[in-house]
């Protein structure tokens, strides 16, 4: 234990005595009452319990040494102050898998804080809690708190935190811990405590702290929010000592809550942006590639303005929705480009190379000789070493550090200054060719969608078309999808909230709760949330549906039920072919065949409207209509559609 912590413990004991409500009578009666009262049923302390009573206090224990120093009630608690702090941070929700190490804060949130800002979201699993916070943060543009046991809970939450880290999404993670060993009770409190809880997830946190007093907590809580929201955004964690939450506040008037001031995101160096503007204007075929560019709804308009000024193509990698998918400039050819600008793209190497998944993993450059590559974004400002989400290194021609969204206005202004009137016809011709290619691609996509239109299992094209037909007149938002090509080609994604990105780290189990988080943020705006939900992901976290039902979060889940972990099915097939054996056995260990899973029944069990399995495409439209009506009334609904694989 550090010296600071020792002092804090001593101070804490004094404060504990000062802040407690002690009456002589109560203090004197406490041990008598305790001895006379039978243990409540189910408490584990009844005579029939196998749990042993704790041993008598050790005289050398640092706890209050005598009974009359042991108060029975409190008039304040550290948890109350923590709630005061959270209310200054505009945290609307706290996604919670309840646990004893944060019972002090939990009680403060629901009673002292009146279960408002933050409001508890009851989650049946920590992975669900964090994934809800993840989806919410991207849609709402601000963090949602998630809270868990510091040990077993955080281990459950770990993969969801990793997804958020890879996805550059802010998560305000809170955990409970009992820091002082001499304050832990029986075996499980030792098992649920750690010297350094955050160690298990620190590789994918931006920052963490374990404050030892309330003033320190206030400062760390505000700092954590600021760090999480500073691009590149990411998860932060605060470990809350149980006794800091449960103990009284000695002097509330002495505690201060620092003001939260968000960092103004850095804009790229003006000289570098001017050089980039020159390169863009002079290029014959400039191409923009964007991934996690959109932090706010403003980003899309800014990117459109730049692309239209240049009449250049834009490839949207869809980490966020960055560019309208029906815009004639959406698209472009990496192999044709003489200048490629990536904005907030992590996988730059994979953007400009073909990587072959064969016996020898060949790498084929896509850029033509002499073409230039420029990166703009925040990824270079913050990286860690263990997990390899930073992707393969590429030797780019210019790397501009700065927030993509906030650098775009200056870049566009500099481009427009350089454009003048020269080269206008060339730009117009370029834009016209891109528009023709875009239209051609859409027509070919529609044509391909006709194949197997009436087939069973139902084609994903038919499922997506039937769905879009019924939601296109609503203010819809696709908060998650296991099917990309049909919606992103044939639907009209014209606002950033139409799409909420994916998991980021490809950790399965994100989509069902992540989509619910997006839907929760959409609820405040009256948007219609829909998720095309893969069955494999569903099976990690099905109890998410209970949270949807309990909190009346309107969302329509359309199951993309191909009855497999289909990507793995294909990988296994490729292995079998490569080794020239057993090519008809790849379903073993990769599919859900015997028995089939009835997702509608599962949904009903969690209190959610469920319909299906639907195998005849003619049954889709009426089922979707019924579910849409329910969701419009504020309820969640699920339709199980048995689909062809992709």
Question: If you ran DSSP here, which 8-state letter would residue 112 be given?
Answer: I
Q: Closest CB to another protein among 47 and 580?
A: 580
Which residues are within 8 A (CB) of 595 and not within 5 positions of it... i.e. 6 or more apart?
A: none
Pick 280 or 532: Cβ nearer another protein? 532
Restricted to residues 561-590, the positions that interact with another protein (CB under 8 A) are 566, 569-570, 573-574, 576-578, 580-581, 583-584, 586
In the list 14, 18, 51, 469, the residue contacting another protein (rule: CB under 8 A) is 469
DSSP state of 242: H
Closest CB 381 distance from another protein, rounded Å = 31
Output 281 or 449, the one with its CB closest to another protein. Answer: 449
Cα distance between residue 306 and residue 327, in whole Å = 13
Q: Quick one: which segment of 376-384, 464-472, 603-611, 626-634 binds another protein (CB under 8 A)? A: 464-472
Q: Which of 84, 126, 347, 466 binds another protein (CB under 8 A)?
A: 466
Q: Which contiguous run of DSSP H or E holds residue 529?
A: strand 528-534
What DSSP line would sit under 377-412, residue for residue? ESGGG---SSS-TT------SEEEES-HHHHHHHHH
Kindly determine how many residues on this chain lie close enough to bind another protein according to the rule CB under 8 A. 39
Q: Which stretch binds another protein (CB under 8 A): 288-296, 461-469, 551-559, 634-642?
A: 461-469
- Per CB under 8 A, the list member of 267, 465, 479, 553 interacting with another protein is 465
For another protein, the closer CB: 416 or 448 = 448
Residues 237-266 binding another protein (CB under 8 A) are: none
Query: At its nearest, how many Å lie between another protein and the CB of residue 46?
Result: 58
User: Minimum CB separation from another protein for residue 391, in Å?
Assistant: 16
CA distance 440 to 489: 12
| Binds another protein (CB under 8 A): choice among 115, 472, 506, 632 | 472
- With respect to another protein, which residue has the nearer C-beta, 382 or 592? 592
Going by C-alpha positions, the residue among 310, 303, 304, 297 that lies closest to residue 345 is 303
Backbone angles phi, psi at 399, to 5 degrees: -120, 115
Q: Which is nearer to another protein, 457 or 517 (CB)?
A: 457
CB of 639 to another protein, least distance (A): 17
Please, which residue, 383 or 450, has the CB nearer to another protein?
A: 450
Least gap, CB of 565 to another protein (angstroms): 12
Render 96-109 in DSSP notation, one character per residue.
Answer: E---GGGHHHHHII
Distance CA 511, CA 132 (A): 9
Considering only CA atoms, which of 533, 516, 537 is closest in space to residue 139?
A: 516
Q: Per-residue x/- mask for another protein, residues 320 to 359, rule CB under 8 A?
A: ------------------------------------xxx-
What residues numbered 429-458 form the site for another protein, per CB under 8 A? 443, 446-453, 455, 457
CB of 348 to another protein, least distance (A): 18
CB atoms within 10 A of CB 410: 17
DSSP string, 178-200: ---GGG--SHHHHHT--S-GGGG
- In this structure, are residues 99 and 149 in contact, taking their beta carbons and an 8 Å threshold? yes
Phi and psi torsions of 577, nearest 5°: -65, -40
Where would I find the beta strands (DSSP E) of 273-362? Answer: 286-290, 313-316, 339-343, 353-355
Compare residues 80 and 502 and give the one whose CB is closer to another protein. Answer: 502
**Least distance to another protein, CB of residue 345, Å:** 18
Question: Helix count (H) and strand count (E) of the chain?
Answer: 22, 20
- Residue 66 or 447 having the CB closest to another protein: 447
The CA distance from 213 to 593, in Å, is 55
Give the nearest distance from C-beta 574 to another protein in angstroms. 4
- Concatenated DSSP letters of 36-94: HSPPPTTSS-STT-SSPPPPPPPTT-SS--SGGG--SEES--HHHHHHHHHHHTT--EE
- The nearest distance, CB 611 to another protein, in angstroms, is 20
**Candidates 166-174, 198-206, 322-330, 459-467; binding stretch for another protein (CB under 8 A):** 459-467
- Tell the burial category of 370 from Cβ atoms under 10 Å away from its Cβ (0-12, 13-18, 19+): exposed
Q: Quick one: which of 262, 182, 174 has its CA closest to 222?
A: 262
Q: Are 161 and 204 in contact (CB under 8 A)?
A: yes
- How would you classify the pairing of strands 73-74 and 20-21? antiparallel
Q: Three-state DSSP class for 124?
A: coil
Q: Minimal distance in Å, beta carbon 645 to another protein? A: 6
Of 37 and 357, the one with the shorter C-beta distance to another protein is 357
Measured from the CB atom, the residue of 7 and 577 that comes closer to another protein is 577
Minimum separation from the CB atom of position 586 to another protein (A)? 6
Q: Closest distance between another protein and the C-beta of residue 7, in Å?
A: 58
User: Is 423 among the residues that bind another protein (CB under 8 A)?
Assistant: no
* Closer by beta carbon to another protein, 103 or else 646: 646
- Compute the least distance from the CB of residue 604 to another protein, in Å: 29
Picking from 137, 318, 123, the residue whose alpha carbon sits closest to that of residue 228 is 137
CB atoms within 10 A of CB 395: 7
Residues 181, 40: Cα–Cα separation, whole Å: 27
Q: How far is the CB of 349 from another protein (least distance, A)?
A: 16
Sheet with strand 555-561: strands edge to edge = 476-481, 528-534, 555-561, 636-642, 609-614
Minimal CA–CA distance to 466: which of 486, 451, 480, 482? 486
Smallest distance, another protein to C-beta of residue 485, A? 7
Interactions with another protein, residue window 485-504 (CB under 8 A): 485, 490
Indicate the residue among 200 and 485 with the shorter CB distance to another protein: 485
Tell me the C-alpha distance between 363 and 361, whole Å. 7
Q: Considering the complex, what minimum distance in angstroms separates the CB of residue 336 from another protein? A: 18
33/355 with CB nearer another protein: 355
| Residue whose structure tokens are 């699920």 | 638
Binding site for another protein (CB under 8 A): 356-358, 443, 446-453, 455, 457, 459, 461, 465-466, 468-469, 472, 485, 490, 566, 569-570, 573-574, 576-578, 580-581, 583-584, 586, 644-646
């Amino acid at each position: 234990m550090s010296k600071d912590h020792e002092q804090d413990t001593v101070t804490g004991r004094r404060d504990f005595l000062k802040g407690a409500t002690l009456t002589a009578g109560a203090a004197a009666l406490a041990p008598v009452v305790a001895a006379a009262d039978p243990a409540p049923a189910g408490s584990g302390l009844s005579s029939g319990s196998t749990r042993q009573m704790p041993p008598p206090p050790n005289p050398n224990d640092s706890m209050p040494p005598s009974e009359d120093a042991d108060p029975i009630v409190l008039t304040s608690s550290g948890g109350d102050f923590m709630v005061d702090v959270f209310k200054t941070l505009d945290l609307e929700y706290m996604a919670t898998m309840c646990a004893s190490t944060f019972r002090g804060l939990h009680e403060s949130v629901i009673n002292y804080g009146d279960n408002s800002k933050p409001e508890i979201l009851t989650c049946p699993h920590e992975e669900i809690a964090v994934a809800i916070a993840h989806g919410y943060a991207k849609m709402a543009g601000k963090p949602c708190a998630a809270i868990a046991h510091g040990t077993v809970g955080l281990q459950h939450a770990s993969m969801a935190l990793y997804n958020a880290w890879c996805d550059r999404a802010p998560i305000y993670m809170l955990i409970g811990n009992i820091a002082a060993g001499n304050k832990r009770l029986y075996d499980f409190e030792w098992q649920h405590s750690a010297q350094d809880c955050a160690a298990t997830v620190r590789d994918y946190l931006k920052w963490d702290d374990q404050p030892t007093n309330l003033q320190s907590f206030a400062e760390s809580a505000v700092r954590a929010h600021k760090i999480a929201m500073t691009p590149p955004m990411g998860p932060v964690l605060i470990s809350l000592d149980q006794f800091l939450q449960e103990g009284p506040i000695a002097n509330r008037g002495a505690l201060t809550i620092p003001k939260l001031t968000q960092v103004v995101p850095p804009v790229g160096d003006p000289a570098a942006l001017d050089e980039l503007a020159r390169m863009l204007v002079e290029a014959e075929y400039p191409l923009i590639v964007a991934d996690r560019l959109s932090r706010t709804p403003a980003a899309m308009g800014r990117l459109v303005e730049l692309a239209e000024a240049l009449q250049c193509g834009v490839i949207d990698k869809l980490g966020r929705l960055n560019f309208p998918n029906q815009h004639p400039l959406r698209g472009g050819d990496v192999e044709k480009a003489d200048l490629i600008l990536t904005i907030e793209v992590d996988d730059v190497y994979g953007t400009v190379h073909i990587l072959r998944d064969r016996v020898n993993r060949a790498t084929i450059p896509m850029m033509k000789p002499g073409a230039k590559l420029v990166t703009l974004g925040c990824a270079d400002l913050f990286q860690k070493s263990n997990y390899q989400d930073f992707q393969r290194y590429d030797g780019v021609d210019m790397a501009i550090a700065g927030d993509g969204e906030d650098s775009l206005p200056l870049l566009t202004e500099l481009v427009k200054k350089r454009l003048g009137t020269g080269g206008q016809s060339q730009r117009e011709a370029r834009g016209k060719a891109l528009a023709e290619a875009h239209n051609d691609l859409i027509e070919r996509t529609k044509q391909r969608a006709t194949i197997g239109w009436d087939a069973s299992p139902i084609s994903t094209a038919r499922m997506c078309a039937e769905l879009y037909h019924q939601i296109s007149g609503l203010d819809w938002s696709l908060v998650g999808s296991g099917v990309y090509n049909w919606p992103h080609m044939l639907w009209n994604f014209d606002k950033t909230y139409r799409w909420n990105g994916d998991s980021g780290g490809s950790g399965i189990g994100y989509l069902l709760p992540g989509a619910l988080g997006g839907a929760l943020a959409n609820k405040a705006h009256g948007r219609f949330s829909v998720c095309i939900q893969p069955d494999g992901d569903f099976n990690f976290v099905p109890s998410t549906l209970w949270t949807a039902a309990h909190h009346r979060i309107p969302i329509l889940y359309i199951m993309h039920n191909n009855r497999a972990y289909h990507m793995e099915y294909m990988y296994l097939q490729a292995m079998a072919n490569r080794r020239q054996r057993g090519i008809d056995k790849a379903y073993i260990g990769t599919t859900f065949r015997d028995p089939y899973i009835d997702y509608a029944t599962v949904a009903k069990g969690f209190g959610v409207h469920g319909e299906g399995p639907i195998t005849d495409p003619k049954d889709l439209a009426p089922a979707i209509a019924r579910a849409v009506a329910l969701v419009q009334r504020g309820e969640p609904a699920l339709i199980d559609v048995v689909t062809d694989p992709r």
